[in-house]
């Protein structure tokens, strides 16, 4: 019996490369307040909202948020005493584009929303990223800082404390 390799062709309009990963549980770091407020969500949770409703709403009251903060590098580069060093020195390089794409989509749906991106550094990854990033800088605020505390306020808003870095 002889093995013959075969080849097939298929026409498609697009290709999704699903690389897979293990999502970080932000509840491991209580300073980000995940789980203490309905209005603190992960990127995956935001993506699901956008996919099903094409907009972001506050889970506490269903309203569109007026001010939104994106915190970059949570998990992959979070240095905590309880985490192994090999778990904190990894940068996936795609998270910056992922978050900015999501933020841009939110701005498209709600141009009055104030979007602030907190980052360690911005990874310029992929073709056209520099142009895309420059457009984002035109309608978003970028703060080089790692927020160290997020607290629920009585009026259902959140207070985010951070120390800007140079």
Residues 32-66 have pLDDT tens digits of 888 888 999 988 899 999 999 989 999 999 999 99
CB neighbours of residue 100 within 10 Å: 24
| Domain-located, residue 153 | yes
Is 3 a residue whose pLDDT tops 80? Answer: no
| Domain-located, residue 42 | yes
Give the global pTM. Answer: 0.79
Question: In which element (H, E) is residue 158 found?
Answer: strand 158-161
Average predicted confidence (pLDDT) for the chain:
82
Alpha helices, DSSP H, located in 91-142: 95-109, 129-139
Band of residue 14 on the pLDDT scale cut at 50, 70, 90? low
The C-alpha torsion from 3 through 8 and 14 to 15, rounded to 10°, is 0
Between the CA of residue 61 and those of 24, 27, 107, what are the distances in Å?
26, 22, 20
| Domain-located, residue 11 | no
Over residues 81-106, mean pLDDT: 72
For the chain, the domain total comes to 1
What percentage of the chain exceeds 70 in pLDDT?
A: 80
Lowest mean pLDDT among 10-24, 100-114, 146-160: 10-24
Is 115 a residue whose pLDDT tops 90? Answer: yes
Q: Which domain holds residue 95?
A: 28-161
Q: What is the pLDDT of residue 81?
A: 47
- Residues contacting residue 60 through CB under 8 Å, at least 6 positions apart: 37, 38, 39, 156
- Residues contacting residue 74 through CB under 8 Å, at least 6 positions apart: 24, 26, 29, 32
Is 90 a residue whose pLDDT tops 70? Answer: no
| Domain-located, residue 2 | no
Q: What values do phi and psi take at 74, rounded to 5?
A: -75, 125
| Domain-located, residue 4 | no
Of 118, 97, 122, 99, which Cα lies nearest the Cα of 43?
99
Distance from C-alpha of 158 to C-alpha of 18, rounded to nearest angstrom: 34
| Domain-located, residue 83 | yes
| Domain-located, residue 157 | yes
| Domain-located, residue 45 | yes
Taking the alpha carbons of 113, 34, 164, 23 in that order, is the dihedral positive or negative?
negative
């Amino acid at each position: 019996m002889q093995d013959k390799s075969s080849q097939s062709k298929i026409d498609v309009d697009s290709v999704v490369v699903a690389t897979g990963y293990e999502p970080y549980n932000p509840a491991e770091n209580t300073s980000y307040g995940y789980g203490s407020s309905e209005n603190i969500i992960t990127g995956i949770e935001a993506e699901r909202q956008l996919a099903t409703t094409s907009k972001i709403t506050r889970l506490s009251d269903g309203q569109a948020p007026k001010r939104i903060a994106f915190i970059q590098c949570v998990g992959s580069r979070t240095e905590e005493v309880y985490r192994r060093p090999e778990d904190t020195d990894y940068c996936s390089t795609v998270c910056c584009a992922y978050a900015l794409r999501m933020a841009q989509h939110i701005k498209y749906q709600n141009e009055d929303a104030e979007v602030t991106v907190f980052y360690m550094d911005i990874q310029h990854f992929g073709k056209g990223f520099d142009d895309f990033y420059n457009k984002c800088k035109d309608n978003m605020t970028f703060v080089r800082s790692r927020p160290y505390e997020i607290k629920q306020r009585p009026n259902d808003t959140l207070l985010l404390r951070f120390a800007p870095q140079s």
